[in-house]
Amino acid sequence: MPIDFLAERNRYTYASRSADSSWFNAVSSLVAPHGKTLLDIGCGGGIYLQAWRQLGAKRVIGVDFSEQMVRTALERTREMGDAWVLAGRATSVPLPTGTVDIVFTRALIHHLSDHDFPIFLAEAHRLLAPGGVCIIQGRTFDDVTCPASPTHIRGFLFEAFPKLLQVEEARRRGSREVKEGLLGAGFANVGALSFWEVRREYEDVAELAQDLRGRVGRSILHELTDEELQYLVEYITARLAGRQHIVERNRWTLWHARKPTSARMVA
């Protein structure tokens, strides 16, 4: 069954790592956040609130619908200063109009229904100041179905359980759909780029297997029964037998757009 983001047991599912240099390089090519106010919609455990602060954002605000995730993000950002975490939904963020310079979201849009997706885009447009930047990090079906390899672990999931391809195909949005949605919400200068983000490094296969058994950071693993998950762990362990220092990467798409203004645009 799908992951329950409201459950206490999943509180740290998206809080146990830090953003990688590959992510920093990708987003830095799109926006200069120094001195800006950043809003992360669907912030989870606050991993990317920390990352945006490292990039120079003056104020970071996280919003998540899960009370458990909000609690975790508050813990993670407690010592940061000028960091706020609020309970709210992607379609109804409890902030005034035009109060942020950058709206960011990661791994959110595949959780939104066809009804809620355009409402979310309109909400992002509302929240941005004129000239503000919207960055959506997500994965298309092509992104998630890259061939399996020692670096692309997700590919092994589909080798072991082809039925998961149907799950992915049903929930992933195409790049054209996202671009058209941004344009329809009133954004301009819409574009997209793909990049490989390092998810995590493992000392060996045993450490990877432990991570998989915990269903940490991969919501699709919640589609498997305990027995199926054990089979998957054995399958991947056999495919990667004897490997040391495994660097897991996932391919992502970054969609980016600006809220039009006659004033000087955000850098």
- pLDDT tens for 198-213 read 999 999 999 999 999 9
| DSSP code, position 107 | S
- Predicted confidence at residue 261, as pLDDT, reads 85
Which carries the bigger pLDDT value, residue 262 or residue 143? 143
- Predicted confidence at residue 4, as pLDDT, reads 37
**Structure tokens belonging to residue 250:** 């996932």
Which carries the bigger pLDDT value, residue 76 or residue 267? 76
Q: The pTM is what?
A: 0.89
Rounded to an integer, the average pLDDT of 156-167 is 96
Rounded to an integer, the average pLDDT of 157-170 is 96
Q: Is 208 exposed, middle or buried (0-12, 13-18, 19+ CB in 10 A)?
A: buried
Nearest in space to 44 (alpha carbons), one of 80, 26, 70: 70
pLDDT tops 60 at residue 11: no
Task: Kindly report the average pLDDT of the chain as a whole number.
Answer: 91
Which domains are seen in the chain, by residue range?
8-144+169-199+250-258 (3.40.50.150)
Alpha carbons 154 and 145: distance in angstroms, whole number = 8
Which carries the bigger pLDDT value, residue 11 or residue 66? 66
pLDDT tops 60 at residue 10: no
- Predicted confidence at residue 6, as pLDDT, reads 40
pLDDT tops 50 at residue 68: yes
| DSSP code, position 16 | S
Which residue do the tokens 């039925």 mark? Answer: 163
- Predicted confidence at residue 3, as pLDDT, reads 40
pLDDT tops 70 at residue 2: no
